[in-house]
Amino acid sequence: MTDLNRALVDIRNIRRQVAQTTEFRGYGPLTLSATAVLALLAGIVQYEWIPEPANYPVQYVALWLTTAVLCAALIATQMLTRARRLHSGMADEMIRAAVAQFLPAGIAGAILPFVLLHVTRDVFWMLPGLWQIIFALGVFASCRCLPRPMLLVGAWFLLTGLACIALGDVRALAPATMSGAYAIGMTLVAAIHHLSAQKASTDEEQEL
Amino acid sequence: MKNKNSRSTAPFAYEGLDRVIHERARLSVLTSLMTHPDGLSFVELKQLCALTDGNLARHLQVLEEDKMIHITKEEDRGRVQTTVRITASGRKRYLEYLATLEQVVRDAASVIEASEDGRISRKLSPVNA
């Protein structure tokens, strides 16, 4: 490796280090609010079309996985443009870090229903609770680069997930368990990001 | 637009190499502050950058006058604690500086690579007998 290549690696390392300690502002409050609305809509769809999810687990999984994919696509699309605008030179590093922090939870959440469907259908009712617990772990993993109050969101999903499991039977598959938890949780996420962005702009104005 | 134009007409002008940042001690102070967004105390900065009290104070003054850092003094158990934080504009300028520095190294690497390729192709070209 030449000295120049080494210098490039050093610069990249500095940027990575800075990215790791910078608050990620790539999540847009409006998009996050839209995901809360999508969760509510999915709850209504479940209420109307899948009244007995225990008897139609495939449809239940399809509904919520589709909602999750839609939400992820919305968030990802906005994240790419917003992070480039707000983090300019560090955007790629920050997006990579944000994705890497949440990805394990996302993958676990995507694989879990297939395992429950094909291996242990008796405990399929645990799916919403486990999804929320996994989501909570993803939020906790991402907290390092997010506003501190985001810990509350992690705690919220952890509590709702545990509450779902505490129900102990198919009641956990009711529309309200998923749509309620995600609608409130994502609204909270949106509010925290909105307040954080407001605080950042106020701080910047005060500096000038 | 201006940058793009100046880059195409004077590719090695590197206007983004901010003179205030382009000094070893100030660069290390800013890098330390960039990686500690909650701020650092004077003592911590002194240790991280291996600077003397006087030297650090002088560089902090330059950076503060240029609105790149914000210095607060708080009393903690009878002692005055100095905390230094990087400002939003300081953060922005540091990142621009880093991008320009990266461009400098990239340009130098590509020039060297091109000259090495030229040498190799000269060596490989058939010799007319």
pLDDT of residue B129: 45
Residue B42 confidence (pLDDT):
94
pLDDT in tens, A77-126: 999 999 988 887 788 888 998 999 999 999 999 999 999 998 877 899 99
Q: What is the pLDDT of residues A172-207, one digit of tens each?
A: 999 999 999 999 999 999 999 999 989 888 877 776
Contact B37 A8 (CB under 8 A): no
- The shortest CB-CB distance from B102 to any of A11, A23, A88 is to A11
pLDDT band for B8, please (50, 70, 90 cuts): low
What's chain B's average pLDDT? 84
CA-based angle B21:B22:B24, to the nearest 5?
95
Closest Cα partner for A146 from A206, A204, A79?
A: A79
pLDDT tens readout for residues A39-70: 999 999 999 999 999 999 999 999 999 999 99
pLDDT of A203: 76
Q: Residue B122's pLDDT band (boundaries 50, 70, 90)?
A: low
Using a CB-CB cut-off of 8 Å, the residues of chain B touching A90 are: 95
Q: What is the pLDDT of residues A117-176, one digit of tens each?
A: 988 778 999 999 999 999 999 999 999 889 999 999 999 999 999 999 999 898 999 999
What does pLDDT average to over chain A?
92
- The pLDDT of residue B114: 80
Domains of chain B: 17-124 (1.10.10.10)
d(C-alpha B87, C-alpha A204), whole Å: 8
More confident residue, A15 or A152: A152
Nearest by CB: A4 against B87, B88, B109:
B109
Q: Is the dihedral of CA B107, B99, A83, A109 positive or negative?
A: positive
Q: CA dist B78 to A111, B42, B72, Å? A: 57, 17, 16
The structure's pTM equals 0.79
Instruction: Say what the pLDDT of residue B1 is.
Output: 45
**Which pLDDT value is given to residue B126?**
64
ipTM of the complex model:
0.71
Q: Name the strand (E) or helix (H) holding B3.
A: helix B2-9
What are the strands of the beta sheet with B40-41, ordered from one edge? B40-41, B79-86, B69-76
What distance in Å separates the CA atoms of residue B109 and residue A39, rounded to the nearest whole number? 51
| Tokens (6 digits) for B83 | 């905390």
Q: pLDDT value at position A45?
A: 97
Q: Which helix (H) or strand (E) holds A101?
A: helix A91-118
In angstroms, the separation between the Cα of residue A168 and the nearest Cα of chain B is 44
Q: Show me where the domains of chain A are located.
A: 29-196
The DSSP code for A172 is: G
Q: Name every chain A residue with its beta carbon within 8 A of the beta carbon of B37.
A: 21-23
What pLDDT is recorded for position B113?
77
Q: How confident is the model over B54-83, as pLDDT tens digits? A: 999 999 999 999 999 999 998 877 888 899
Confidence class of residue B88 from pLDDT cuts 50, 70 and 90? confident
